[in-house]
Amino acid sequence: MLLEILFSDGKIPAGGLEMKIFQVSINGKTYRVTVEEIAEEAVTKEKTEINSVETIAVDEIINSNKACFVDDIWVIDSGNIIKAPMAGIVVDLLINTGAEVEKGDLIAVLEAMKMENELRSHRSGKVKEIPVIHGQFVNQGDIIIVFE
C-alpha cells in the first residue's frame, strides 16, 4: 500500500500542528482529511484506553469459546450509584458532571494499599452528581458517582 500525505499548502507549518487539512492518497485514490492535534495529556489517556481495550479483547477471544458463561461483571451492580470499594484517596477523576459514561469506562482512580485502583462503571448513563473531589479521602461505601 502506498500512502502519501501532503499538507494542504504543501509545507509543514512552522507553529506546530493544530488543525490541518491533509490530502492523503492511498493506492492512487486521493482523500482530503482534517487532522486535529490533541494535547499530550489526551494522548496518554487514549493510550491507556487502548491498553484496556486490548485486555478486554483478549478476554473476549478466550471467553468466546465458552458461550455458556455469563458476561464478565467487573463491578457489583449497585444501581444508579458507584461506591468506593475500599477506603482510600481519590487521586484522579476522569469524568465531569453531565458526562455520558459507557459501561466499563474508567471513571476514577483510588489510591489505597499503595496501589492505584481503577474504578470502572458497571453501567452506561449520564452522570448526575460527583460528591467527591480530587484528593479527597473516602471511606469504603462512600458514594463517588450518582447517575441520572
Partner 1 sequence: MNIHEYLQELEGYKNQFKKENQDYKDKTGSLSARERINYLLDSDSFMEIGAFVSSDWENYRGEPENIGREGVITGTGKIGGRSVYVFSQDFSVRGGSLGELHALKICNIMDLALKTGAPIIGLNESGGARIQEGIYGLIGYGNILNRNTIASGVVPQISVVMGACAGGAVYSPALTDFVFMIAEKSRMFITGPQVVKCVTGEEVSHQELGGAITHNQLSGVAHFLAPNETACLDMVRELYSYLPLNNREKPPVITPVIPVVGDLDEILKIIPMQPQKQYDVRRVLKLIVDDSELLEIHRYFAPNVITCLARLNGATVGMVANQPCHLAGCLDIQASDKIARFVRFCDCFNIPLLTFVDVPGFLPGTSQEHGGIIRHGAKILYAYAEATVPKITVVLRKAYGGGYMAMSGRSLGVDIVYAWPTAEIAVMGPEAAASIIYRDEINNSGSPDMILSDKTKEYRERFVNPYWACARGLVDEVIDPRETRTKLIKSLEVLSGKQELRPAKKHGNIPL
- Residue appearing with cell numbers 474504578: 119
Nearer to partner 1, 95 or 112 (CB): 112
Tell me which DSSP letter residue 9 carries: T
By C-beta, is 87 or 94 nearer to partner 1? 87
Q: Which residues bind partner 1 (CB under 8 A)?
A: 55, 58-59, 61-62, 65-70, 73, 76-77, 85-87, 111-118, 140
Cβ nearer to partner 1, comparing 50 with 68: 68
Closer CB to partner 1, 34 or 65, in the complex: 65
CB of 70 to partner 1, least distance (A): 5
| Side chain identity at residue 6, one-letter code | L
**Shortest distance (Å) from residue 81 CB to partner 1:** 16
| 119 CB burial (10 A radius; 0-12, 13-18, 19+) | buried
Q: How far is the CB of 33 from partner 1 (least distance, A)?
A: 32
Give the CA-trace dihedral at 82, 83, 86, 91, to 10 degrees.
70
Closest CB 35 distance from partner 1, rounded Å: 30
Extended strands (E) in the chain: 3-7, 19-26, 29-36, 81-83, 88-93, 100-101, 106-112, 115-120, 125-129, 137-138, 143-147
- The residue among 6 and 58 lying less far from partner 1, judged by its C-beta, is 58
In the complex, what is the shortest distance from the CB of residue 46 to partner 1, in angstroms, rounded to a whole number?
A: 17
Tell me the helices (H) and strands (E) count for the chain, helix number first. Answer: 1, 11
